[in-house]
Structure formats: C-alpha cells, structure tokens
A and B are shown apart, each in its own frame.
Chain A
Amino acid sequence: MTTPVVPPPKKDPQKRTRVPTRPSHFRSRAALGLAAAAAEGRFMLQRCSECGTLQYPPRDACASCLSADLPWMDVSPKGKLIAGTVVRTSTNVYFRERTPWRVGTVQLEEGPSIICHVHGDVQTGEDVVLINRLDKSGQAVFLAIPQGRTANMEDDPQMRELTCDPKFRRVLITDARAPNALALAKAFAQAQASIIFIGESESWRSYPAHEELRAVPKVEILPLDVTDTGSVLELCGEIGGKTDILVNNARYVRPGGIMNRGDVIFAKDEMEVNFFGLMRLAQIFGPAMRGRGADGQNSATAWVNVLSVYAWSNMPDYGSFSASNAAALSLSQCLRAELSAGGVRVMNVFSGPTEDEWHQPLPPPKVAPEAIARSVISGLKDGLEEVFVGDVAKDLIERWRAGPKILEREMIENAGQDA
C-alpha cells in the first residue's frame, strides 16, 4: 500500500517557492509518438507492418527487417518487472530534488523490454501493467504499476508527479452559469479537491444552479466574468496564488453559420468568451500557475479547457461557434507551450453536442454535464492532454485523423440535416 498524501500544511512565508524544474525533454521525432499516445493515456508501440515485430524504443526503421512502415498500435500493457533499482542521486536537477526514485525494466508479454519508472507497490519479479504518461516536461515516460488496485495507489509520489490529481488541490471553475458547472463542482468535491472556487458573472441576474452550487461542499462562489479584464485581474489578485487547477468551462454558443446570421454580433460574443476569455485567463492566471508548478503537494498542475470537438472540423450548422473553438484550440497549444516551463499541463476536453438549450433541437446522442465532469476528473487523474467525451467526439476525431479533407466533405454533406 502507498502512504496516503495528507492535506499539505500552510506554507512557510519565509521560504522561497520552489522553482519548477523539468526532467530531460529531448526525444527523437519517432519517440514523440509515445507522447501523442500518452496525451490520451494510451499504451501504444510501433508494430512493423511487414514482419509484425513490436518496436521499442521507437525508431524509423524496423529493428528486424528494416521496413520504414511502422504504424503506432494500441498493445497490451501487461508484463513483468524483471529488474529494479533505486536512484539516490542524479545530475539532473529535477530528479536530484526528488530522490529516492525507483526505476526498472519491464518485459512485456508482447516481447520488448522497457526501461521505466516503478510504482512503490511493485516488487521485482511481479506482474505489472505499464502506463504511458506525460512527465513534467510533457514527454512520455512509462510507469510500472501493480496489475490490481492497491490502497491509495494514486498517492505514490512518482505517480502523482505524472498526474494532475485534484486530491487536496484548489480548483477554479470559471463559469457558474455554464450548464456543466454543478456537475463539475460535485465531481471535484467527490475527488477531494480542498477548495472549489467558482466564478460567477453578473450576479444581478439569476441562473438555474444558483442555490444548488452553494450547497456543494468546499464551494466558494466569487465574482468572475471572463469577458471583463478587470474582473479577471481582481479575482487573480485574490486567488491567483492558490489556483492549482483551472477549469475554463465558460463558453458562448449560438446556432448558425455565416449567411443565416445577419451580423457579427453573436460571432463577437463567441470570440469574446471562447477565445478572448481563454486569453484573458491565461494572461492573468497563467504566470502565477507557471511559477507554482513545483509548489509542494498542492502545486499548480493543470489547466483544463472544455471545448467543442468541432474545433477540429467545422460543423456548418454551428459554424461560427465551431470557428471560435478552433481559435481556442489553437490558443490552447500556445498556452501549452508557455505553461510547459512550469510543468503545468493543458488538458482539452472535447465533446460533441451537449445536453443544453442551445442544442435542444438536435437528435441524441448528446453529452450530459455529468459525462463532461467525469471526463475532466479522470483525465486529470491520468494526466492527459486530450480527452474526447462521448461517441460523437470520439468518432469525429477518428475520422479527422484518417483524413481531415474527407471529414470536411462529410460535414458539408451533413449540414442542415440535424438543426
């Protein structure tokens, strides 16, 4: 079993906040395929399409037959820890600050032997599962964990470095009015977040979850309007130094593309919330979070954007909204680059049409607020960067990866059928 993490003590105000350092982040281009898989929490290796040999480490030509056709495949992560050791010192500053650190070699059932980090509950010779996760530099590493659950296994210090577990962390949910705010608040309470700040815009007008939100344990409602720079500055002045996870769930959605709207007013509102809202939050909260990436048990750890999967390929019936999300997706990549120095992860959670008033005439399946909340929590616990919620989103990203131009054609053909 793992010693459970305890709520961190109050900070000693005379101590300097530890500056975030990063493990080595140099990888070959071929090895970046592991990071792409880890971004979604998948365990993937290259398998030679000519001779079927599973490759490790990633490479440009098959180790067995020299074929260059090495597609990435999901493979079984099961194996055995055949050797292990404990690193007690290191020339790398990141590891030097975190020793002792367990490393080992796992022989996969599928063949290859892999150098990996090792969970505290695993002994040499035992059966393990390898998980592929992003480390604080944003690169993929493997961690050998027990095949079954052990007590408090998420609290293992090496595992917690690879995840963004909300446990004992302080969360800011940016929009109390969003239909998923209540589900998110409840999910974070369940995940033992220590404080759940929720931003509320325009307290002078009501909204359905107003009372229920206040009844969720650990919730503190504070004024925040992502379209108002002054309001973002003010809130950051209060809680910017203790925002460990920021969930930007603010969004503005209206049906319609270009020609069935008579003006750019809704489009501006969409950009104002979905793009500039993200930019304001990132400019104002980003620096504080980046500076607190190694601030103990409740360090700043993740930035979550709740986005539309139509950021990837425009859905003409919601064409302008899709475009604003495409802009937000692009900006999130910039944010990921800028937060990486602090080891703070940017996780985008994409969904198809959601269960709310603006998608009401669309046929099911639609994504429920609870599904988004579950995905946010599980994504944080797995330290992911990309999460696709629901069948529509999963299907769309698969088709996008197969061929964006073909998908664009399909989106055009389907336009007008649903809305």
Chain B
Amino acid sequence: MTTAVLNASSMLTEFAAAIATGEIEVVDLTHTLDPDFPVIILPPEFGQCARFRMEEISAYDHRGPGWKWYNFTCCEHTGTHFDAPIHWVSGRDLPNNAVDTIPPEHFVGPVCVIDCSEGSKTDDDFELTPDIILAWERQHGQIPEDSWVFMRTDWSKRSGAEYLNMRKDGQHSPGPTPEAMRLLVDDRNIRGFGTETVGTDAGQAMHYSPPMPAHYYLHGAGRYGLQCMRNLDLLPPTGAILFSAPLKIKQGTGSPLRVLALVPKEAANG
C-alpha cells in the first residue's frame, strides 16, 4: 500500500472519530417531505410540480399484519431538491447531465456561504450581485474552484403564503442576477449554486435577460443547483463540506435528497 492510501485511511478513521465526538457537526439542510410544503407554481395551463403524497400500504393490520409501509409520490423537484444540468434547455445536450450519470465525487465537496439575510429581510426581491460576491471575497478569500456557493437569505424561516410570496405579478423572493451567475460560473468555475427559496433563481427571474439566469448559466455549463434548503444560518462562510447525492433516477433531471453539511465545531455559525 502506498503512503497516500495509508494517509487517506487514517484520515477517514479520524473523520469518523471527529463525527462521533462532535468535533465535526453534521448539519441537516433538508426540509421534511411534507404534503403541505410549497412547490413552484407555474401558469395553470402548464404541467405542474407534483406535491409530495403518501398512501399507507399497511400498518400492522389486515393489509399486512406485521409491517407498516407507504407508497409515496412526488416530482423530481419537490421539497429540498437537486437540479441536474438536463433540467434546463441550456444543459440538455451535455454529457453526464442527468442524476444517474453525474460522477459521484461531485456529490461531496466544499461550500461557501454568502450571507444575504440582512438585505432579504427588507427587500423581498433582494439580488445577489457581483459586488456582493466580490465584497464577500475580500473578507473570506476568492471562492475556490469547484466549490458550492450558497446564498443564505433566511427565507427558510418563512412559512405558509409568505414562503412563495406570490402576488398578482408573480412570486417575489431573492436570487442572483445574470451578472452574478456569470461571475460564479465563468470566472469562479463553481460546482453548483444553492438557495433557501423554492428555486435557485429569484422569484421575478423570468424578467432577467436571459430569463432564469441561475438555471440558464449553471446548467448550461454542466453545474448543479440545490434549493428549498434550510439551516444555512448554521454554516460558516467557508470550511464546511457538503454531501448532496440525489436519487439515482434513470435520466432524472433532479431529485429530492437529504443535504448534509459537515461543519468544524469551532466554525459553526450561530
């Protein structure tokens, strides 16, 4: 065996020990799959995102005396979920663009968290701009290549109608501008972008050019999206490692998933 293998092996042993002692905290960034959790709403003549539903098959009764289980149904994009490049028209022809063909090592990696919670508190349409990203970098260093970038808005603390925040002219929630996405995707070469809102894009992102810039640029470049997350306020600006493996659905465009962040205890935010 090589030294590298021995090192890796001892690193994993130490890693397990650090989890056990709590030196590394596991933070759950996932909402519970709940039938009443909001999903994205499109104009009603379009097909819609299926809500999460459960039907009990048996519960230790005449339908199955010793066991309880459910059938559940939902959309690939229900609840806390992963977007693969194939989800968007800009990523339709890329190689390995579906959840079953993405290399599994892409599901583990570092994450930078840009705190936009102050601005989002007072402005429902708060925009993540290149200026905000550059200001963050002056404080925390340049966003490392191939890392996840999360936009923290504390939007996940909202519930009910406040969450989608739907008005007559559509949804109002924070998100990145096209310029911010180009900076992140083209210049910083990030692996993916994640939010607490119902999508990676702002509520009013249909009116940007191009429309839905987070989807358009991320997936056009083969990068990933995570949305409907929570607990981003428990993450440090840098230093956390993300586990975000979607279900292995054949040619799937995304999937609900459990998003976990490994956070060094001393760095835990909040």
Contact = CB atoms under 8 A, between A and B. Distances in A.
Contacts of B159: 204
Contacts of A28: none
B47 interface: yes
Contacts of B65: none
Contact of B35 (A228, A265, A269, A357): A228
Contact of A229 (B45, B55, B160, B163): B55
A358 B36 CA distance: 25
B38 A230 contact: no
A229 B36 CA distance: 12
Given A230-B54, A231-B35, 7 more contacts: A202-B36, A203-B36, A204-B161, A206-B166, A227-B53, A228-B36, A357-B44
Contacts of A254: 45
26 contacts: A202-B38, A203-B36, A203-B161, A204-B36, A204-B38, A204-B160, A204-B163, A204-B164, A205-B38, A205-B164, A205-B166, A206-B161, A206-B166, A223-B36, A225-B35, A228-B36, A228-B51, A229-B53, A229-B54, A229-B55, A230-B35, A230-B54, A231-B35, A254-B45, A266-B47, A269-B48
Contacts of B164: 204-205
B41 interface: yes
A280 to B, nearest CB: 9
Interface string B35-64: 110100100110110010111100000000
Nearest to A272: B53
Interface string B179-193: 000000000000000
Interface string B19-31: 0000000000000
Nearest to A358: B44
B66 to A, nearest CB: 22
A205 B47 contact: no
Contacts of B45: 254
Contacts of B160: 203-204
A204 B51 CA distance: 13
A265 B36 contact: no
Contacts of B35: 225, 228, 230-231
Interface string A266-277: 100100000000
B53 A205 contact: no
Interface in A38-70: none
A418 interface: no
Contacts of B163: 204
Nearest to A265: B47
Interface in A115-131: none
Contacts of A238: none
Interface string A304-321: 000000000000000000
A357 B44 CA distance: 10
Contacts of B161: 203-206
**Interface of B (DSSP majority class):** loop
Interface in A359-389: none
Interface string A233-268: 000000000000000000000100000000101100
Q: How large is the interface on A (under 10, 10 to 19, 20 to 34, 35 or more residues)?
A: 10 to 19
Contacts of B51: 227-228
Contacts of A269: 48
Interface of A: 202-206, 223, 225, 227-231, 254, 263, 265-266, 269, 357
A231 B51 CA distance: 13
A283 to B, nearest CB: 11
B47 A263 contact: yes
Most buried by B among A202, A223, A231, A357: A202
Contacts of A230: 35, 54
Most buried by B among A204, A230, A357: A204
A83 B54 CA distance: 61
A385 to B, nearest CB: 30
A227 B53 CA distance: 8
Nearest to A263: B47
Nearest first, the 6 closest Cβ-Cβ pairs linking A and B are A204-B38, A228-B35, A204-B160, A204-B161, A265-B47, A205-B166
Most buried by A among B35, B48, B56: B35
Contacts of B55: 229
A265 B35 CA distance: 18
A205 B171 CA distance: 10
A338 B9 CA distance: 66
B234 to A, nearest CB: 24
Contacts of B44: 357
Contacts of A357: 44
Contacts of B53: 227-229
A413 to B, nearest CB: 27
Most buried by A among B41, B53, B54, B166: B53
B151 to A, nearest CB: 22
A206 B167 CA distance: 9
Contacts of A228: 35-36, 51, 53
A353 to B, nearest CB: 17
A228 B51 CA distance: 9
A263 B50 CA distance: 14
A200 to B, nearest CB: 11
A95 to B, nearest CB: 38
A266 B56 CA distance: 24
A201 to B, nearest CB: 9
Most buried by A among B36, B44, B45, B164: B36
A206 B170 CA distance: 11
Contacts of B36: 202-204, 223, 225, 228, 231
Contacts of A266: 47
Contacts of A223: 36
Contacts of A265: 47
A41 B89 CA distance: 58
A205 B164 CA distance: 8
A348 B35 CA distance: 29
A202 B51 CA distance: 10
Contacts of A263: 47
A230 B47 CA distance: 24
Contacts of A225: 35-36
A228 B48 CA distance: 16
Nearest to B44: A357
Nearest to A202: B36
